[in-house]
């Protein structure tokens, strides 16, 4: 990765490699063994992070500063975003995504900036609600990493919504208000994630990990006063998936012979990555094809990973992919670079998920007309919905989705929205009070400064007045001294005239 061209990657092919070109058959076998072939690749960015002593070395924070702002901007504009890290085992994917305490990775830095942006949007009357989900795909099964039952992680099913696409059912959602909340969730999930030691990596990830952050933005507008919250006018819902893929591996490299669990894990990891590669190849082919009739069917359902990422791979999403390579294995590096060369041809069609909210008044008469009290009615409905949900899990098809057309559910939704609005209004008013306190403190500082300046001016004026009086007195004394000297000379002359010695 030459420093003068930050977008290019040059791979030197060993002469004895099976991938060495055989284009020139006229050269002798001895020349073939000594000749070197170079392959050139061009990407959006080629990041060199091997030797920190070199001028083009880039650490996690520098790399995030190049890519992170675009991700955050798309996320808050209402677009779904996905960031994947791919590469062979021990190439640095988890370190790039997670980092460590001294040098955090892309995921902690992204969450930090999302929370900072959320705080800044309070003054613009935009309420941001963040919820975090952390799952892993282990042996083609989805497990919830944030469940409290650590010995046996909760297994979740993947379903498909008719408009939103695939989603993971019954997964734990954590509200994220502070960075400490995210750190707690991340540490909890990482401690539950499946890892193992191989000959290539002491802490090899044995599963694909997906962190999903759901963002709901509600914009409030007031007609007259900017200091009041007003009513909700627009809503945007978006999500960002941060994916740490398990590394592709070969049994001859990892040397886990006789370890059935490790062999099974590696086999299913390679299977899911192979399906992901097939999807990429077909998506790249379809992107280059001008006719819809020639478009191939994408095998998303052949793997749990591709099924979950269906919308992010070629749907309503702005997707980024990081390919990690290392000099450990030439064949893996070569395949990874060719993989990346195909991926950059894929095109997605992302759109902002904005919804205009109705400002129609609530029909309170309809709500009061309910036969029972609100509390008792909600209890009855919750019991009824619990029974329906149990029957639904037993009898429903994987693609069916329960409807929410009950009045009580609408009331629950309305009360949830009002509670969220009151919480945000409290935050908004606190922010305004802090801003007023800051302005008052600044004005008080100006008043104190003016008081000091006025006191100094009066002191200097007093000193100047005393100085003028003193100078005037000195001038009078000087004039009086001159008059005395003149009178003294006149008396001396008169005495000389009346000197008795001069008379005789």
Q: Which tens digit of pLDDT belongs to each residue from 247-296? A: 766 554 544 545 556 677 778 888 888 898 889 888 888 877 665 566 77
Residue that wins the pLDDT comparison between 217 and 294: 217
Average pLDDT over residues 9-18: 85
154 closest CA partner among 169, 165, 139: 169
**Is 0.75 topped by the overall pTM?**
no
Contacts of 482 (CB under 8 A, 6+ apart): none
Predicted local distance difference test score (pLDDT) of residue 150: 58
Give dist(CA 77, CA 420) in Å, integer: 21
The mean pLDDT of 205-223, rounded to a whole number, is 86
Q: Taking the CA atoms of the chain, what radius of gyration do you get in angstroms?
A: 39
Residue set of the binding site for ATP: 87-94
What are the pLDDT digits (tens) for 184-210?
998 888 888 876 555 444 455 678 889
Treating both helix axes as pointing N-terminal to C-terminal, what angle do 407-497 and 374-395 enclose, rounded to 10 degrees? 120
Check residue 27 and give its pLDDT. Answer: 47
Confidence of residue 213 (pLDDT cuts 50, 70, 90): very high
Average pLDDT, the chain: 78
Section 472-477 average pLDDT: 74
pLDDT digits 0-9 by tens, 107-118? 999 999 999 999
Percentage of the chain with pLDDT > 70?
Answer: 77
Q: How confident is the model at residue 337 (pLDDT cuts 50, 70, 90)?
A: very high
Q: Write the burial class of residue 164 (CB in 10 Å: 0-12 exposed, 13-18 middle, 19+ buried).
A: middle
pLDDT of residue 352: 82
Nearest to 148 by CA among 112, 185, 106: 185
- Name the β-bridge partners of 99: 104
Percentage of residues in the chain with pLDDT exceeding 90? Answer: 18
Average pLDDT over residues 21-27: 50
């Amino acid at each position: 990765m030459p420093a003068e061209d930050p977008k290019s990657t040059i791979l030197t092919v060993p002469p004895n490699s099976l991938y060495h070109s055989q284009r020139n058959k006229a050269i002798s076998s001895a020349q073939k063994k000594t000749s070197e072939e170079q392959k050139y690749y061009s990407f959006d960015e080629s990041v060199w992070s091997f030797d920190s002593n070199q001028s083009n070395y880039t650490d996690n924070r520098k790399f995030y500063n190049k890519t992170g702002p675009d991700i955050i901007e798309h996320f808050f504009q209402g677009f779904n975003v996905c960031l994947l890290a791919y590469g062979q085992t021990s190439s640095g994917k988890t370190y790039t995504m997670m980092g460590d305490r001294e040098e955090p990775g892309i995921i902690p830095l992204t969450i930090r900036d999302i929370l900072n942006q959320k705080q800044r949007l309070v003054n613009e009357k935009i309420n941001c609600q963040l919820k975090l989900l952390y799952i892993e795909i282990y042996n083609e099964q989805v497990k919830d990493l944030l469940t409290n039952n650590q010995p046996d992680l909760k297994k979740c099913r993947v379903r498909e919504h008719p408009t939103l696409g695939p989603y993971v059912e019954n997964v734990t959602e954590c509200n994220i208000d502070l960075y400490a909340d995210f750190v707690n969730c991340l540490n909890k999930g990482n401690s539950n994630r499946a890892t193992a030691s191989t000959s290539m990596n002491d802490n090899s990830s044995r599963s694909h990990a997906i962190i999903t952050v759901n963002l709901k933005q509600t914009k409030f507008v007031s007609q007259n006063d900017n200091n009041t919250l007003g009513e909700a006018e627009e809503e945007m819902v978006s999500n960002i998936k941060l994916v740490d893929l398990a590394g592709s591996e070969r049994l001859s490299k990892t040397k886990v012979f006789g370890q059935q669990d490790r062999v099974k894990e590696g086999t299913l990891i390679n299977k899911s990555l192979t399906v992901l590669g097939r999807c990429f190849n077909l998506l790249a082919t379809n992107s280059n094809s001008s006719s819809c009739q020639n478009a191939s069917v994408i095998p998303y359902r052949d793997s749990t990973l591709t099924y979950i990422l269906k919308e992010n791979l070629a749907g309503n999403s702005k997707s980024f992919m990081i390919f990690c390579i290392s000099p450990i294995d030439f064949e893996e590096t070569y395949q990874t670079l060719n993989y990346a060369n195909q991926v950059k041809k894929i095109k997605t069609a992302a759109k902002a998920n904005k919804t205009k909210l109705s400002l129609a008044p609530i029909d309170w008469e309809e709500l009061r007309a309910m036969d029972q009290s609100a509390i008792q009615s909600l209890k009855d409905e919750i019991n009824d919905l619990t029974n329906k949900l149990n029957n639904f899990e037993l009898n429903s098809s994987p693609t069916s989705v329960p409807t929410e057309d009950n009045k009580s559910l609408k009331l629950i939704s309305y009360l949830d929205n009002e509670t969220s609005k009151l919480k945000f209004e409290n935050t908004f008013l606190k922010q305004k009070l802090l801003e007023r306190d800051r302005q008052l403190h600044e004005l008080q500082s100006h008043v104190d400064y003016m008081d000091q300046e006025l006191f100094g001016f009066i002191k200097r004026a007093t000193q100047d007045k005393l100085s003028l009086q003193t100078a005037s007195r000195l001038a009078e004394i000087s004039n009086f001294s001159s008059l005395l000297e003149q009178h003294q000379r006149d008396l001396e002359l008169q005495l000389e005239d009346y000197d008795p010695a001069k008379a005789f």
